[in-house]
A and B are shown apart, each in its own frame.
Chain A
């Protein structure tokens, strides 16, 4: 039996609508939600950065909140050396056994060398996913630089644990230096020295340390030679902590019991993993464990004849790229397959979208590359199936986005990209 439109035919609904508008208008807040929201966004970016670096993009996508912003500059009188701080008592437990944002900030402050601390912010364990973090600006007199640390539990021996300490693929992330070493206790430590913007359009340097212990404790430290990771002027030639200090900060024993708090608080069962709708519309997660090897094979199998695959890679289970050559020069082609992006459909597939007989929507875009490579063009075919599965494929006239063009146009035509993107083969990966 069809149900009539309640708004059109129910006088009660009309009264309710008027009443609701009056009731809603009565709510006021005195908090600066805009600033607090931006702070939370910056925290999300930080986490995503850590996850992308580690090749574990899914970690950063779920909801995050509760950023604590502390006023004032804090002063420099209570700075202690790393050695002194690590000998102190564990600050891990908050009142409910968790870690508070203040404790994260305090622990970070205590581990930093002499200097003026300001712009403190942090997140505790009162939010999911459990990934407490703290960020401060540290100024040793030569200019302030942002320093951030985040804690996380990873499954020992898992791909995530392995990728966290694997230097990134230079195809995506050019850098000055990156090295992974095994410590005496079996921990792996990666020290990364790169740039905030891969195309180096600013001089902001981004250095990071990633530590994963055999027990699955993960400590991520980032620092910049600016007071914020983006949109802040460079204040000094290099980030405030030397490579050695960065290593000391990441390996400070004080973090380890704090990460163990995360293990104790991680609950088994369905609540332990974010539900599909706990992510924003444009952030639907692929199913866990989608093997990127299968994805790459599917990708290669769908290529038109006459292309030689010179290189392949992928940073996540929902992403793969190939560098192909038809004899005219290298051309990178990348693909993303996402399980349910229906929430972003209206934003991504507007009036210019073509709708195929099976309901798939297709949008084509041709424009400049996004990573600053000279004369690089990016050709994209974006598709979404009626059930929300999205396949987006982009091709470049260069072997990487941030390097100069090696040929006039990508090695695949828009038609060929469209054929790949609309292939039924992708469905089998989900």
Chain B
């Protein structure tokens, strides 16, 4: 961070994006908001170090999302021996008045999926990334992303079944 202007740009960017990154992280972590906060701080810290180059290269939002996902996967890899299906109640606000129990069921189901499944689903359906882009973020092939996506949706369907239908329809 060489100049005051760069710092202002960084501050403006992270102030605008931190909330979205946090929400992405919450989905990745299956509702573990404390871990999500930590992942976002880690991501923003790395972004701070690289800000000059990242901002010059354009699309820092995509870069930040990439860092977040990789940080999450690296965390999962280090901790996988300890990871368990989440049984914590996610810290969910309910701004739209939608049934929180159903939302909890969805987040809880996400938390029960393997980490890479979560990453694929969040990239594809929350970030709306293409298969190619998802493959680049995850350092894998588009074919592997397609396969994992189909399997992850299948697992999710098995876990929440019609609840999702009712929730989405609400």
Contacts and interface: CB of A to CB of B under 8 A. Distances in A.
B42 A40 contact: yes
Contacts of A343: 66, 70, 136-137, 139
Contacts of A346: 59, 62, 136
A415 B92 CA distance: 57
A356 interface: no
A34 B143 contact: no
Interface in A249-281: 271, 274-275, 277-281
A65 interface: yes
Interface in B1-26: 1-4, 7, 10-11, 14-15, 18-19, 21-24, 26
B27 A20 contact: yes
Interface in A1-23: 3-7, 10, 12-13, 15-23
Contact of B139 (A7, A18, A277, A282): A277
A23 B107 contact: yes
A37 B45 contact: yes
B124 A41 contact: no
A231 interface: yes
Contact of B40 (A33, A275, A347): A33
A38 B57 contact: no
A76 to B, nearest CB: 30
B151 to A, nearest CB: 9
A341 B126 CA distance: 25
B33 A24 contact: no
Contacts of B63: 281, 347
The majority secondary structure among interface residues of chain B is: helix
B136 A37 contact: no
A347 B71 CA distance: 18
A18 B18 contact: no
A15 B27 contact: no
Among A31, A42, A277, residue most surrounded by chain B Cβ atoms (within 10 Å): A277
Nearest to B42: A65
Nearest to A31: B37
A287 B5 CA distance: 36
A38 B48 contact: yes
Contacts of A28: 19, 91, 93
A34 B121 CA distance: 26
Contact of A41 (B47, B94, B165): B47
Interface in B66-83: 66-67, 70-71, 73-75, 77-78
A10 B50 CA distance: 39
B28 to A, nearest CB: 10
B36 A27 contact: yes
Interface in A34-62: 34, 36-45, 48
B131 A5 contact: yes
B79 to A, nearest CB: 10
Given A65-B45, A278-B78, A280-B50, A6 B136 contact: no
Given A13-B153, A34-B14, A275 B27 contact: no
B92 A24 contact: no
B106 A20 contact: yes
A272 to B, nearest CB: 11
A90 to B, nearest CB: 29
Given A20-B27, A28-B19, 5 more contacts: A33-B14, A37-B41, A37-B48, A40-B41, A281-B67
Interface of B: 1-4, 7, 10-11, 14-15, 18-19, 21-24, 26-27, 33, 36-38, 40-50, 53-54, 57-59, 62-63, 66-67, 70-71, 73-75, 77-78, 90-96, 98, 100, 103, 106-107, 121-122, 124-126, 131, 136-137, 139, 143, 146-147, 149-150, 153, 156-157, 164-165, 167-169
30 contacts: A4-B146, A6-B146, A7-B124, A20-B121, A20-B122, A20-B126, A22-B98, A23-B92, A24-B26, A24-B126, A26-B96, A26-B100, A27-B36, A28-B93, A29-B19, A29-B37, A33-B14, A33-B37, A37-B45, A37-B47, A67-B45, A231-B1, A275-B74, A277-B74, A280-B49, A282-B50, A345-B136, A347-B54, A347-B57, A348-B57
